[in-house]
Structure 1
């Protein structure tokens, strides 16, 4: 069986990076894993802090995609590890959603998005589903 998620309001919405499950990482509180992930795209601490304090994960995502800010040169090589770290911290520090993740046992987890072929499955299902893969890795680590 497969578990699909996308919207925060869905049954497995807590798997979304937009879900309101904050955590402390790097001695700072992050409202969502999206806030953390987007802030790490930049080495400039002021940009990171502005993203960390964004009112919503959607605003944090837009800030992280701002082409006027200089993306860190190693981003492509570290982005999976940054996501892995954010997702692990989120589930480690929120017992309620940790229980949801563990309840999926051995089931495949897929981010069911039509637009993202890297983090999700993409419109035709051919995407890499990296967020789903990371969730399954984190589930194994938390067992």
Structure 2
């Protein structure tokens, strides 16, 4: 499973002109399932997201998690994170899980996050989405969960 995590001051996702998910300070997480991923990777990703220390403490060091700061999570499916650009100019997306598996795994991540964290918003799987964010820092962290 691939994730791209951005610490944000605020973020939102719109579909067809309507806002479907919005958070204040927290983490915007773009999520891509890969072939072979399962519930273990979903659980590991959620655990990592909730414990990742990327928010400043009183001394200004990144020592606090999204849970520590009671921040929001905005989870957005994005199969293009699996893009392979090694050949030619058109990316290949064979590294992404097939659509139905991707949907199931994205929903698994979303359900686990909602069980464990009070503020979880989401995009719409498979929709054309417009994501708007104010990156805080900027802090952007790629993650590959095996």
Same fold? TM cut 0.5: no
What is the TM-score when the length of structure 2 is the normalising length?
0.30
> In proportion to residue count, which structure has more helix?
1
Q: What TM-score, normalized by structure 1, do the two folds share?
A: 0.30
- Structure holding more strand per residue: 2
